[in-house]
């Protein structure tokens, strides 16, 4: 396991560069502290990058969380991860640099309540193709008066401190994913929903649901519409890490742990300068 952590560390450093961690920022008197460093960077116009997590192994999670990424995209839509698994992962790396974000299966009250209760400071909602789905993403994530999140048990206080209830609405990032032509058609309305922080252009499923290849001008027209509508609404724009050089994008999903292990192994072996063949 130590070897895996080392590989992840090498891969992250080579890909992103080393980042220091000096603790959450302190707010001025009378303001809520912004301890979600992802939200702070987005507000400052800076890009953020998150690696994707499918495994329930806390050791791998911690290696990724400490490798320089801004956040971890914890995948609960397309994985067998349970909320119990993810709660243990987040607790195991309390204080790590990477902020926990969870892609929930759907914009339901139960999924969003559980995700935030276990300490996620970001929720990623897939398959948003109606304004109501975007509103639900905000409504069930935020406490009153901005939303309908109920107070209950959870480990959020242990992770983020006693002032969590008062500061959660200001710190949680709501990401909605547009993945089909129906969502593209009303991207302007989705992006304008109050409380939506990021609109993510789902590169793969936009092609899958539309039937357009990525080199088709009609595919590019969908991406352009999402781009223009999102930025016009004042929200941030997300996409795959491969689009990090596209103008206007600032929220990026990077590779999963398996891809990072492979890339890290290649980097490690290349340091032997031809002494080892693989």
Active site residues: 78
DSSP characters over the chain? -HHHHHHHHHHHHHHH-------PPPPPTTS-----HHHHHHHTT--EEEEEE----HHHHHHHHTTT-SEEEEE-SSS---HHHHHHHHHHTTT-SSEEEEE-SSS-HHHHHHHHHTT-SEEEE----SHHHHHHHHHTTSPTTT--PPP---SHHHHH-TTHHHHHHHH-EEEEEE-SHHHHHTHHHHHTSTT--EEEE-HHHHHHHH---TTSHHHHHHHHHHHHHHHHHT-EEEEEGGGTTSTTEEEEEEEEHHHHHHHHHHHHHHTTTTSS--
Which phi and psi (to 5°) does residue 220 adopt? Answer: -65, -30
d(CA 167, CA 243): 32
């Amino acid at each position: 396991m130590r070897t895996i952590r080392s590989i992840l560390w090498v891969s992250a450093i080579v890909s992103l560069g080393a980042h220091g961690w000096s603790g959450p920022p302190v707010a001025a008197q009378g303001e809520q502290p912004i301890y979600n460093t992802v939200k702070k960077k987005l507000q400052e116009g800076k890009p953020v990058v998150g690696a994707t997590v499918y495994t329930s192994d806390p050791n791998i999670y911690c290696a990724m969380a400490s490798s320089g990424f801004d956040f971890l995209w914890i995948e609960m839509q397309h994985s067998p991860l349970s909320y119990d698994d993810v709660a243990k992962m987040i607790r195991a790396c309390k204080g790590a640099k990477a902020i926990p974000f969870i892609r929930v299966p759907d914009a339901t009250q139960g999924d969003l309540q559980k995700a935030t209760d276990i300490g996620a400071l970001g929720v990623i909602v897939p398959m948003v193709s109606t304004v109501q789905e975007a509103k639900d993403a905000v409504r069930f994530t935020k406490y009153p008066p901005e939303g309908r999140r109920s107070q209950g048990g959870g480990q959020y206080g242990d992770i983020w401190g006693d002032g969590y209830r008062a500061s959660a609405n200001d710190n949680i990032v709501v990401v909605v994913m547009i993945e089909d032509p129906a969502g593209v058609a009303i991207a302007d309305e989705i992006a304008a929903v109050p409380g939506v922080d990021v609109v993510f252009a789902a590169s793969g499923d936009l092609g899958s649901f539309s039937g357009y290849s990525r080199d088709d001008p009609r595919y590019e027209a969908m991406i352009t519409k999402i781009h223009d509508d999102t930025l016009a609404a004042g929200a941030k724009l997300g996409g795959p890490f491969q689009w990090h050089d596209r103008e206007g994008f600032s929220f990026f999903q990077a590779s999963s742990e398996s891809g990072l292990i492979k890339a890290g192994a290649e980097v490690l072996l290349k340091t032997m300068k031809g002494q080892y063949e693989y």
